């Protein structure tokens, strides 16, 4: 499926208005770090526990009645799945989600509870893209990618419109630096469009920092064939897309990588200091800040992008 359409700032603003009509803004918290007030946007507190609800709503509401009647298909390890399932249920659209057998049970169960059909696949031997494409073709359904889609990017960017308004109300400077977790780059690209005057730093787990390497190389580099294990299930993207890369590259976005222990420390800090449950992939931007890989500055906005944890694994992280 080819999209000629490019994501735009006008599209982000449209998405923000659509989201504001159905959901309250996620809370913005502030903390003083080394004498600097840093803002944290808690996307973990969305009804599905992640920002993915934004892009899903913007995309599905853009479908015409005929397309809605044929349903949607998505592939996702979890949070995008829940976003699509949530939006589809609210709009009365049938949703089919292609999800790896080893997806966190909490995410699979939540997707089923939202009324979606879940089709499993083996992450090691099967291609979720092919399975999803075949399903979509057989049913005439619309395939909804998790990041390689202009509506999805615009929808995720609505978090930036919200955050800027909240920072202004809190008497903080306009966002100067956005630090954001990056899988495929949909949230980061959306924020870049939403906040044209801010610098963008994307954060990935070590060994999965293909966006960082791509931005440095000025072309898209995939993840190495045998990446290290990571707890960040929501950031395990093999390759970013031209759409997200182009937006971030044109904005001279920077990339940093964080270690697994830095991510775990950030999850503990979020629990203790912000009283928020943050999943590993949702905590990497905070980890970059706390580990000193990004320096705090006035106008800094850090995205806490999701909070869907496996309880046992999360308990081990908190126990340190």
Residues contributing to the site for a second copy (CB under 8 A): 24, 27, 29, 44-45, 49, 106, 169-170, 268, 271-272, 274-278, 307-309, 311-312, 314-316, 318-320
**Residue 16 or 276 with smaller CB distance to a second copy:** 276
Q: Which of 61, 245, 74 is nearest to 158 (CA)?
A: 61
- Cβ proximity to a second copy: between 192 and 303 the closer is 303
Count of other CB atoms within 10 angstroms of residue 303: 29
Q: Of 248 and 277, which has the nearer Cβ to a second copy?
A: 277
**Helix, strand or coil for residue 54?**
helix
CB of 183 to a second copy, least distance (A): 19
Note whether 73 and 96 are within 8 A (CB): yes
What's the min distance (Å) between Cβ of 23 and a second copy?
10
Tell me the closest approach of the beta carbon of residue 29 to a second copy, in angstroms: 8
How many angstroms separate the CA atoms of 21 and 52, rounded?
Answer: 17
Distances (CA, A) of 209 to 124, 235, 256: 20, 10, 7
Least separation in angstroms between residue 284's CB and a second copy is 17
Shortest distance, position 35 Cβ to a second copy, whole Å = 14
- Distance between CA atoms of residues 221 and 214, nearest Å: 5
Nearest distance, CB of residue 277 and a second copy, angstroms? 4
Minimum CB distance to a second copy smaller for 242 or for 318: 318
Output 35 or 320, the one with its CB closest to a second copy.
320
Rounded to the nearest 5 degrees, what angle is found at the Cα of 232, between the Cα atoms of 150 and 302?
65
d(CA 142, CA 136) in angstroms, rounded, equals 6
Closer CB to a second copy, 49 or 150, in the complex: 49
**How far apart, in whole angstroms, are the C-alpha atoms of residue 192 and residue 112?**
33
95-100 and 72-75 beta bridge pairing: parallel
């Amino acid at each position: 499926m080819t999209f000629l359409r490019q994501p735009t700032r006008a599209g982000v603003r449209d998405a923000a208005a659509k989201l504001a009509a159905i959901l309250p803004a996620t809370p913005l918290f502030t903390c003083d770090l080394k004498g600097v007030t840093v803002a944290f946007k808690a996307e973990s507190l969305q009804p599905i526990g992640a920002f993915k609800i934004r892009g899903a709503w913007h995309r599905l509401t853009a479908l015409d009645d005929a397309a809605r009647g044929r349903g949607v298909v998505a592939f996702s390890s979890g949070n995008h799945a829940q976003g699509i399932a949530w939006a589809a249920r609210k709009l009365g659209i049938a949703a089919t989600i292609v999800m790896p057998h080893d997806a966190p049970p909490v995410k699979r169960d939540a997707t089923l509870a939202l009324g979606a059909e879940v089709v499993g696949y083996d992450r090691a031997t099967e291609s979720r893209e092919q399975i999803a494409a075949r399903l979509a073709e057989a049913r005439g359904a619309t395939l909804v990618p998790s990041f390689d889609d202009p509506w999805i990017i615009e929808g995720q960017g609505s978090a930036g419109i919200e955050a800027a308004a909240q920072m202004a109300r809190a008497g903080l400077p306009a966002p100067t630096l956005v630090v954001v977790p990056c899988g495929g780059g949909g949230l980061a690209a959306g924020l870049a469009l939403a906040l044209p005057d801010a610098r963008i730093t994307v954060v990935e787990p070590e060994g999965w920092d293909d966006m960082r390497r791509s931005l440095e190389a000025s072309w898209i580099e995939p993840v190495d064939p045998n990446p290290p294990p990571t707890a960040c299930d929501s950031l395990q993207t093999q390759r970013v897309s031209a759409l997200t890369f182009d937006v971030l590259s044109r904005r001279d976005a920077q990339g940093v990588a964080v270690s697994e222990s830095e991510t775990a420390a950030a999850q503990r800090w979020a629990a203790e200091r912000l009283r928020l449950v943050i999943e590993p992939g949702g905590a990497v931007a905070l980890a970059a800040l706390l580990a000193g890989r990004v320096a705090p500055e006035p106008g800094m906005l850090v995205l806490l992008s999701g909070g869907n944890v496996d309880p046992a694994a999360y308990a081990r992280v908190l126990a340190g």
